[in-house]
Structure 1
Amino acid sequence: MLLVYPVTEIVKYIPVLLGTVIVGTTSGNPMWSLIPVALVAAYGVARWFTTSFRIDADHVQLRTGILQRRKLSVPRSRIRSVDVEADLLHRVLGLAVLEIGTGKQTAKGEEFKLDALDTRRIPPLRTELLSHTAEHTEATEDSPPDAESGMEIGHWQPAWVRYAPLSLTGLAIFAPLLGLAAQYGLIGWISRSSVVRQLGDDSATGVALVVVGLTVLSLVLVSLAACAQYLATWFGLRVLDNGATLHLRHGLFTARQITLDLARFRGATLSEPLLLRAARAAQLEMIMTGENPRQKVLPQAPRAAVERTLDELLRTRRRPRASEGAERAPASAAGSVGGSDAVVAWSAGESRSVGELRSVGVSVPLTKTSTPEVPSSDVANILAPQPITGATLGTVPLHQHGPAARRRRYTRALWPIGVAVVVMVVLSVTGTSLPGWAWGVPVVLALVLAALAEDRYRGLGHRVLPGTTGPTWLITRRGSLDRNRDCLEAPGIIGWTVRQTFWQRRAGLATIVAATAAGRKGYLVVDIPIDQAAELIEAVTPGRLGYRH
C-alpha cells in the first residue's frame, strides 16, 4: 500500500507535474520541478496512516482523509453488490480494490472503496458481505453460496473482437487524440508537406487519392483503437449465476470482478445498433434497481450467443418463489382478467366492442367518438397470449402496431424533404437559378429516409408473455440506428402512463410508458393503437387499471 498510494497519486496528477517540469526546464532550474513530485508522493504515503476500515456484525465502516476527516458507514443489510478491481500494479503486488454498492447512485469520490486489500482476503470477505442475499435462493445449504461459483451462462471468445469496430468506441478514443494532434500543429505540418505543395489545380485525381487514403487510414486507426479497448476491457469475460448473485469477471490489464444481487433484477435489454444488427450481432444489458442503468453483461457478440445468455439469465426468473406460486397459479390457470373469474374466449373472425370488453372486467378509456370495434384476434393475442414453445424472449416474434404507426414513421421522416422541395420551387419561380444537381439531393435523401422509416417500423413491436411458471413479461422493441429489445418482468412495473401527442390523437395512437425503479426508469411501447392500450396494461398487471362506474 505504501507503494500503491504514491504511484496512484503521481499518475493522477501527471498533467500538473508535466507542467511543472516544463516550467522548471524553461526557467533554468529543473530541480525545482521535483518538489511537486515529492509532495504528491508524500501525500500518497500519508493516506496509509489515515485510512482504516472495520467490519462488524451490522455495519461496514471506512475512515479516510488527511486534512478533512471522513467516516462512511454502510449497514450490511443494504449491500447489493461487491465489485473487485485490480489494475496492473495491484495485480503485480497481489492486491485489489473492493467497492461496496448499496444500490444508491453516488458521486465520484464518494464511493465506498477498500483499496489495496490482499487478494487472498477478497473471496471470503465478498462472500461474507453478500451472505444476506442467500435468502433469495432455493438452496438448502447452511452456508451462503460462493459468488465465484455457479453455472456459467456466458463467456468471452477471441473471435468476438471482429465486432469491436462496429461500435463508436474507437471513434470516441481516436477523435480526442486527433483533436489534440491538430492543436499541436498536425494540420499545419500536413499543409506544409511536400506532397501537398506539389498538388495543383489539375491534380484532382491526386487530391481524391489523398482524401481516400486519409479516410482509409482513419478507419483503420479507429478500428484498431476499438479492438484495443475491447480486448483491454472484456478479455477473459465469464458470467456465473449461482441463483443469488450474478458474477462477472473480465479485463486484460485491469481485472474487474462485479457481483450483482439478483434480488434486484427486473429484466434485460438486448441492444442492436445498426452496424451490429447488420453483422447479426448484439449486446446484452441488465435492468436492475439501484444499479448502473446500462449494466452490460455481454459486449458486442454474435446474436446467437447473446440470446443464449439472455435465456439462461431469465430462466431462473420464470420459476416463481414459494410465496408467489400460490398467488399466481389460480389466475394463470383460469385465464382470469383483472382479478375476475370471467374467462375471455372469442372465436376467430369475431369482434367485440368496448362495452362488451367492460362487461368482462376490462377497463377501457371512454372517448367521445363512436364505439370502436376491437378485432378478436388482437384482443386474444394481448389478453391471453400463449407461450411460444422453442423460442426465447430474444427471438419470440412481436406484434406490429399497424398501418397507422407505419404512416407516422414515414410522415415524420419525409416532411422535411417536402418543405425543402417547396422552398426550392419557390426560389425557382421567383427567378433564383439552382444547379441541376440540387434537384437530385431531395430525391436521394427521400429514398434514404424512406428506407430508415421502413426499418423503424419493422423494429417497432411488443409482446406480452404470460407467467405460467413465473412472472409475466412485457417485451417491447423500438429504434433503428440504436434499436433496443427490452424484456421487463411485470412485478417490477410500479405504474403506467398513456401519452398522446396532438398528431397521435389524430392517428388513433398512443405511447405507453411502463414505470419502474430499475434501469432507465421508464420503458416505452411506442405508437400502439389506443384501443389496445388498456388491454395491454391489464394483461401485464391485472387489476392495476381499476374499474370505472
Structure 2
Amino acid sequence: MSADPGEVDRLPADPAEAPTADPDPPAGNGADTAWRRLDPRVIAAVGAWCLLLVLAAALVMWWRGAPWWLHVSVPAPVLGVLGYEALRWRRTTYRVTSDLVELRTGVLVRGHRSIPRQRVRSVDVTAEPMHRLLGIATVKVGTGQRVSSSAGAALTLDALAAEECEALRERLSRRPDDPAADGGRERTLAVLDWRWLRYAPLSMSVPLLGLSFVGALYEGLDLLGADPDNTVIPGLIAWLGSVDDLWPVVLLAVVAMALAGTVGSLGMFVETWWGFRLLREPHGTLRTSRGLFVARSVTLEEARLRGVEVAEPLSLRWGGGALTYAVVTGAGTAEEEISASNSSVLLPPAPLRQAHRVAAAVLREERDPTAAVRLIPHTRHALHRRLRLVCAVGTSLGGVLALLGTLLTPVLIHLGWVTALVVYAVGCCFAVDAYRNLGHGVTGRYLVTRHGSLKRRTIALRRDGVVGWRINQWAWQRRSGLCRVTATTAGGRGAYHVKDVLLPEGLRFADEAVPDLLTRFLVRRDGAPADDDGAPRGG
C-alpha cells in the first residue's frame, strides 16, 4: 500500500465485523467513531446497468444472427460483475470522526485511507442517472493534493443515500468559527440564464463533435451489419467520382458536420449546466449545483480561496462571453480544467460583464480585480519574439516539405510554399493578438496577470496567497532582456505567469506585489545589496 502525504495507511480489521451506526451521528458521542457501510442500493445500480448492456448485446446478436450458445454465455460475466460488486460492498466501510475521514476497502488488496478533516478542501456530490433513480449518490472528498491519478487525490464513497450525502457534505464543510460566515443566511450569487445558451455553439469542441458524429454513424452502420467498408464507402467514392463539381458537395458536408457539432454542443450545454446555481452558504463555503442527467454538487471552502480567473476562449471572446473559475486550494488543476467535471468552475459560459460580477461577489469586492486595474502593457520585444517564432515554424515546415519534394514528387514543393504562407499569415495574426493580451498590474489585495490568445486568461491572485516567485529567462529571451515571472501558490494550477516581461520590470512587479519576498535577492544597479528596509532597488 502507498500513502499520500497527510494520510494514514494501515492494515485494518475485517470490516464485516464492524458495527453499524446512525446515518449522521452527532459529533462527540460514541457512535461518532463507529464504522458504517455504503448503501446496498449501489449493487442494484450496477446490476441495472449490466441488465441494459445484456439487453443491448442480445438485440445486436439477434440482429446479426449470432449462434444460440453465444446468447447463453452473455449472463455469465454479468453475474461475475454483480458478485464482485456485492463483495466490494461487504468489504467497504467508512467513518467520519471529529478529526478524521476514514475508508477501508479492497477485495484482493486491502487498503485503509485516513484524511485529517482539516485537510478537506472540497466535497463533491455526484449522482449519475441510475443513482438518481435509486436515490443514492457518490461523495468525493478532495484534499488538494497534486497527484497523477485523480483517484489518489480524493477519498471517494460510492455510494451513499442522497440524504446522507447532503448531511455528510454539510458536516465536512462546516466551519463554525469561519469569519466569512454570513450569520446563518444563504445567498444566491448566480443562477443559469437560458439566454446564455447562445454561447454553446461558440465552443471549441464543435468541430470535434461534428467529427464524432461521423465516427458514430460509421460505427452504427457497422454494428447493424451494413459493412460500410465494403458497401457504403466504395459506393460513396464511386458517386463522388461521377460528380462534375465537388465544391458544392464539400461545402454541404462541412455545413452538415457544423450543424451536427452545433446540436451536440447545445445538448452538452443543457446536460452540463441544467439547474446551475452558485450559493454562498452560512458556514463560509461556496456551493455550485448543476446537471440534467448527472447531477453534481461541489462545495468549496472560502478560507481556501486564493483568487479568480476569467477565461475567454477565442470563439467565446468573439461572442462577448467568458468563463469564471475559482483559484482555490484543492481544485482547478491543469488536468481538471479540460474535464467537464471541473470543480473550480463558478459560472458557465456567460456575458463578460456577468463573469466580472460573479468574480467580484465571490471575492467579496465591489469590483472584480481583473477589470478594476489598468494593466501595464509589455514591451514590443515580446511581439518580436512571437513573430520570430512564427517565421521559424513556417520556414521549417515549408523547408521540410520542399526537401521531400525534391526527392519524391514536385507536388510536395508546391505544398511546402503554400504551407509556409498559411503559417505566416495565421501565425502572425495570433502573435499580434497574444502580444496585445499581455499585461500585469497590482490593485488592492490582488496582483493581476493576463496572457493567451486561443484562450485569454486574466487572473486575480491574492497577494498574501503567493508563497514564492520563480524567474525564468530562456536563452532566446536573454538578448532582448525578457523573462517569465511565475507566482507560486497553493491554489488552482499552483503557478501563474507574467510572460515575456522585461527583467527589471518583472522584478519590480514581483517586489511590489509581495514586499520583502524578493528583497534579499535584489541588488542596486551599482551592484550593492538592497537596503534592509525592504525598499525595491531595481534589478
TM-score higher than 0.5: yes
Shift in alpha-carbon separation, 1:500–1:220, aligned structure 2, 3 A: same
* 498-507 or 278-287, larger mean C-alpha shift: 498-507
String of CA shifts for 1:124-152, please: whole Å, max 9, x gaps: 33222222x333325486xxx5xxx6222
Could you tell me how far 1:177 is from its partner in structure 2? Answer: 5.6
String of CA shifts for 1:78-125, please: whole Å, max 9, x gaps: 222222112222223332222222223463555423334333334433
Shift in alpha-carbon separation, 1:305–1:115, aligned structure 2, 3 A: same
Counterpart selection for 2:379 from 402, 424, 429: 402
Counterpart for residue 453 of structure 1: 431
String of CA shifts for 1:180-236, please: whole Å, max 9, x gaps: 65464546543333x6534446x332x222222221111111121122122111111
2:474 maps to a residue whose letter is T
2:499 maps to a residue whose letter is V
Gaps of 5+ in 1: 319-389
Counterpart for residue 196 of structure 2: 160
String of CA shifts for 1:371-413, please: whole Å, max 9, x gaps: xxxxxxxxxxxxxxxxxxx774236431111222222222222
Task: Give the TM-score of the pair, scaled to structure 1.
Answer: 0.74
Matches within 5 A, 1:238-317: 238-242=277-281, 244-293=284-333, 294=337, 295-315=344-364
Counterpart selection for 1:227 from 262, 266, 281: 266
String of CA shifts for 1:422-469, please: whole Å, max 9, x gaps: 89999999xx9899998676555433332222111111111111x3xx
Counterpart for residue 338 of structure 1: none
Whole-Å separation in 2 of the counterparts to 1:422 and 1:49: 64
RMSD between aligned residues: 3.6
Whole-Å separation in 2 of the counterparts to 1:6 and 1:487: 46
Matches within 5 A, 1:325-404: 392-394=369-371, 396-404=373-381
Shift in alpha-carbon separation, 1:217–1:420, aligned structure 2, 3 A: closer
Partners of 1:233 and 1:250 within 8 A in 2: yes
Whole-Å separation in 1 of the counterparts to 2:417 and 2:73: 67
Counterpart for residue 344 of structure 1: none
Whole-Å separation in 2 of the counterparts to 1:476 and 1:164: 27
Shift in alpha-carbon separation, 1:18–1:461, aligned structure 2, 3 A: same
2:433 maps to a residue whose letter is D
Whole-Å separation in 2 of the counterparts to 1:275 and 1:246: 29
Counterpart selection for 1:475 from 418, 442, 448: 448
Partners of 1:249 and 1:256 within 8 A in 2: yes
Task: Give the TM-score of the pair, scaled to structure 2.
Answer: 0.75
Which structure would you say has the larger Rg?
A: 1
Counterpart for residue 125 of structure 1: 168
Partners of 2:331 and 2:492 within 8 A in 1: yes
String of CA shifts for 1:352-371, please: whole Å, max 9, x gaps: xxxxxxxxxxxxxxxxxxxx
Counterpart selection for 1:93 from 113, 118, 134: 134
Counterpart for residue 114 of structure 1: 157
Counterpart selection for 2:466 from 493, 500, 505: 493
Partners of 1:461 and 1:478 within 8 A in 2: yes
Partners of 2:210 and 2:258 within 8 A in 1: no
Counterpart for residue 505 of structure 1: 478
Partners of 1:6 and 1:42 within 8 A in 2: no
Shift in alpha-carbon separation, 1:53–1:90, aligned structure 2, 3 A: same
Counterpart for residue 218 of structure 1: 257
1:447 maps to a residue whose letter is A
Whole-Å separation in 1 of the counterparts to 2:89 and 2:393: 62
Shift in alpha-carbon separation, 1:108–1:461, aligned structure 2, 3 A: closer
Whole-Å separation in 2 of the counterparts to 1:420 and 1:50: 58
Whole-Å separation in 2 of the counterparts to 1:424 and 1:196: 28
Partners of 1:266 and 1:518 within 8 A in 2: yes
1:4 aligns with 2:42: yes
1:135 aligns with 2:174: no
* 33-42 or 506-515, larger mean C-alpha shift: 33-42
Shift in alpha-carbon separation, 1:76–1:517, aligned structure 2, 3 A: closer
Matches within 5 A, 1:319-330: none
Whole-Å separation in 2 of the counterparts to 1:102 and 1:512: 28
1:237 aligns with 2:279: no
Counterpart selection for 1:169 from 173, 198, 205: 205
Matches within 5 A, 1:67-86: 67-86=108-127
Counterpart selection for 2:389 from 412, 417, 422: 412
Could you tell me how far 1:476 is from its partner in structure 2? Answer: 0.9
SS of match in other structure, 2:427 = helix
Whole-Å separation in 2 of the counterparts to 1:422 and 1:66: 58
String of CA shifts for 1:297-354, please: whole Å, max 9, x gaps: 22222112111111111225x9xxxxxxxxxxxxxxxxxxxxxxxxxxxxxxxxxxxx
Partners of 2:439 and 2:450 within 8 A in 1: yes
Shift in alpha-carbon separation, 1:26–1:422, aligned structure 2, 3 A: closer
Whole-Å separation in 2 of the counterparts to 1:397 and 1:287: 21
SS of match in other structure, 1:393 = helix
Whole-Å separation in 2 of the counterparts to 1:399 and 1:261: 32
Partners of 2:483 and 2:503 within 8 A in 1: yes
Gaps of 5+ in 2: 1-38, 338-343, 524-528, 530-539
Counterpart for residue 30 of structure 1: 71
SS of match in other structure, 1:134 = coil
SS of match in other structure, 2:269 = helix
Whole-Å separation in 2 of the counterparts to 1:88 and 1:486: 36
Partners of 1:276 and 1:282 within 8 A in 2: yes
Whole-Å separation in 2 of the counterparts to 1:223 and 1:188: 30
1:39 aligns with 2:80: yes
Partners of 1:6 and 1:44 within 8 A in 2: no
Could you tell me how far 1:261 is from its partner in structure 2? Answer: 1.0
Could you tell me how far 1:50 is from its partner in structure 2? Answer: 3.2
SS of match in other structure, 1:137 = coil
Q: How many residues align?
A: 461
Shift in alpha-carbon separation, 1:474–1:140, aligned structure 2, 3 A: closer
Shift in alpha-carbon separation, 1:39–1:191, aligned structure 2, 3 A: closer
1:80 maps to a residue whose letter is R
